[in-house]
Amino acid sequence: MDIQEFIQTAKEAAVLGGYILKENFKTVKREDVEYKAKKDFVTFVDKLSEDRIKDFILSKYPDHGFLGEEEGISGKEESEYLWIVDPLDGTKNYINGFEIFAVSVALQKDQEIIAGAVYIPMLDKLYWAGKGEGAYLNGNSIKVSDRPVDMAIITTGFPFRYEEEIDSYLKAFKEAMITFSAVRRPGAAAVDLVMTAEGIFDGFFEMKLSKWDIAAGFLIVEEAGGVCTNFEGQKNLDGNVVAGGEKIHKILLDIVQRTLL
């Protein structure tokens, strides 16, 4: 296993998808938007990005599995290696012309994420990490922040697809607003996670995400010296996420456990 080769593949794949997003930005028309479910959209750009990424990865590793948001499982499903890809995280932002969206590419080996990359095309920011290799942004090492709690900015995502969770979520949101200096909502979980790893944000929490939203960012936060868990405090990609430096993570975890469990 060559971890550096896997990292390089993840980086190249994320940038390849990002170029597709850049080329088509602000070209999506209303008739191009499809509904996957209530408040859940997809466009030809999501699909094109995923196809290009999949073709690139499987041409290099034909014996690996591939899990993409749009097409599901393909490749060698029985492989110990599984690439987990979100070809466009922040589709609604993209449709509306808001520049905050990303491509997320991660490699899982035997249920552990070992390499990952997230590319934010309109900012030209490429984040990556490998298990035990540290976390990087455009070639420079990154670390989570160590700001005091009263200066910390927390980022989150709203459970807009799960109306039954809104009241509980608002309790967590209120606690975060009271506890920290500010709360932000960019609209793309992969962006939330890597900007937490970079130290722009001090912590992040969100519920009911998908594995492809968080797999790469989860590793990047950890390799940047942070803590990333589910709401039970476990290192589990079950879709509920709390991330940050050790101190902020502990406080955020307490908030979500008191309000969302």
pLDDT tens digits, 83-132: 999 999 999 999 999 999 999 999 999 989 999 999 999 999 999 999 99
What is the phi-psi region of residue 22: left when phi exceeds 0, alpha when psi lies from -120 to 50, beta otherwise? Answer: alpha
Q: What is the pLDDT of residue 53?
A: 97
Is residue 35 scored above 90 in pLDDT?
no
Q: What is the pLDDT of residue 160?
A: 79
pLDDT band at 78 (very low <50, low <70, confident <90, very high): confident
pLDDT band at 38 (very low <50, low <70, confident <90, very high): low
Q: What is the pLDDT of residue 36?
A: 66
Q: Show the beta-strand stretches assigned E in the chain.
A: 34-37, 40-42, 65-68, 72-75, 81-89, 102-109, 112-120, 125-130, 134-137, 140-141, 153-156, 182-184, 203-206, 227-229, 241-244
For residue 233, report the phi and psi dihedrals to the nearest 5 degrees.
85, 15
pLDDT band at 39 (very low <50, low <70, confident <90, very high): low
Percent of the chain with pLDDT over 90: 86
For residue 223, give the nearest of 191, 198, 204, 240 by alpha carbon. 198
CA 200 centroid distance within chain: 15
User: Between residues 78 and 60, which one has the greater pLDDT?
Assistant: 60
Is residue 258 scored above 90 in pLDDT?
yes
How much is the average pLDDT of 61-78? 89
Is residue 48 scored above 90 in pLDDT?
yes
How much is the average pLDDT of 148-175? 93
pLDDT band at 13 (very low <50, low <70, confident <90, very high): very high
How much is the average pLDDT of 45-66? 96
Q: What is the pLDDT of residue 125?
A: 98
